[in-house]
A = this chain, B = another copy of it.
Amino acid sequence: MSMNRREFSRLGALALAAGVTCTLSAQTPPAGNERKTGYAVIGLGRIAAHFMPGAVNSTNSAITGLVSGHRDKAERIAAQYGVPASSIYSYDNFDEIAHNPAIDAVYVALPNSMHAEYTIRAAKAGKHVLCEKPMATSVADCEAMIAACKRANVKLMIAYRCHFEPLHLRSIQMIRDGELGQVQAISSCFGFNIAPGEWRLNRKLAGGGPLYDVGIYCLNACRYLTGEEPAGVQAFASTIDHDGRFNEVEENVSWTMRFPSGIVASCATTYGANMTGYFKVYGAKGWVQIDPAFNYDGVHLRAELSGQVIDQLSPSHDPYQFVAEAEHFSHCVQNNLEPQCPGEEGLKDMRYIAEIYRSAGIAT
């Protein structure tokens, strides 16, 4: 397999991230003189409920602020994490975090369309930003977020938790080490049967359908597994159920990608069926799959390499992916390092999502 320098260095970053994760979280106590990175969490929904215990279980991160439209909910969570009432903000007075020295960074866990505004406001307040995926709902918003963080000289990372999942990293390593031989094809799907009323079904808030929310895991995985950027995409989208859920976003997207080396990928995502997220990579000497791949828990790698069978169930439990993610970003903040998945990584996915939508005939 041919690998260019950028790929090697990218893999290096991933391996480093894994190393940092395993070493620090398992063994290394925080340096006595190293202040923990304090996060203000913006949006106290489902994903934040994974991130917050993750952060406090890392060695170098703390929850030091909360931003919510629901003061009572925020107060309950504040009590849990030892956040003083003075560090609870509403969306109206959010910009005052600028004056709170306990807040080093924000974790943006809002509906997709609000990522850009709060990332940019956080940057203007001089805070580093860890922003959930998808980075935003448009390429232009992603570009504005990157520019704002550069201008403010703050770090920006997109919270691609699978970049810190040890079995995902092991798959990448197997591929780079040539254990699969030349990779030919990848299959990857991820979807779920969505409940009515979710903000994810509101186009303005979500940007689009399941590709933005869960299909992005397949897209991103195909990129880190190959170490390449797609040279072409083709897609179909459809809506089958006319039960009120899909008035604004599509229900299904099925797409193929061709990478410069010739590797092809077949992917699908849906909001109409439970579709456990997985990938399977097929190479000349063997295959590796993770199934389930994108769950918070129970990640399961299987491989067959020149006849040798590997079967490894992740021994870690939720929120381990968030522990590693927080650990890495805090480490970058404290040591002025470029994070593993900077804004540019989120921007790339947003560009491919736009291409997939164009191919499927959906206006973006």
Contact = CB atoms under 8 A, between A and B. Distances in A.
Interface in A83-137: none
A272 interface: yes
Contact of A268 (B185, B234, B235, B284): B185
Contacts of A232: 236
A295 interface: no
A236 B274 CA distance: 27
Contacts of A282: 189, 191, 268, 270, 273-275
A232 to B, nearest CB: 6
A268 B266 contact: yes
Contact of A185 (B187, B191, B239): B191
A282 B267 CA distance: 13
Interface stretch (A13-21, A31-39, A252-260): A252-260
Given A187-B189, A240-B263, A266-B254, A283 B287 contact: no
Contacts of A290: none
Contact of A256 (B193, B256, B262): B256
Interface string A66-92: 000000000000000000000000000
A244 to B, nearest CB: 14
A266 B241 CA distance: 20
Interface string A223-234: 000000000101
A265 interface: yes
A191 B181 CA distance: 16
Given A189-B266, A241-B284, A255-B256, A272 B182 contact: yes
Nearest to A237: B264
Contact of A235 (B185, B191, B234, B283): B234
B251 A254 contact: no
A237 B258 CA distance: 8
Q: Is the interface of A mostly helix, strand, loop or mixed?
A: strand
Contact of A266 (B187, B251, B274): B187
Contacts of A262: 238-240, 251-252
B253 A264 contact: yes
B254 A236 contact: no
A173 interface: no
Nearest to A254: B264
Given A234-B256, A266-B267, A182 B274 contact: no
A261 interface: yes
A202 interface: no
B182 A241 contact: yes
9 contacts: A185-B252, A187-B268, A189-B266, A234-B236, A236-B257, A240-B262, A252-B264, A254-B266, A266-B268
Interface of A: 181-185, 187, 189, 191, 193, 232, 234-241, 251-258, 261-268, 270, 272-275, 280, 282-284, 286-287, 359
Given A240-B261, A273-B287, 17 more contacts: A184-B270, A189-B266, A232-B236, A234-B359, A236-B257, A241-B284, A252-B263, A252-B264, A254-B257, A254-B258, A254-B265, A266-B267, A270-B282, A272-B284, A274-B282, A274-B286, A275-B287
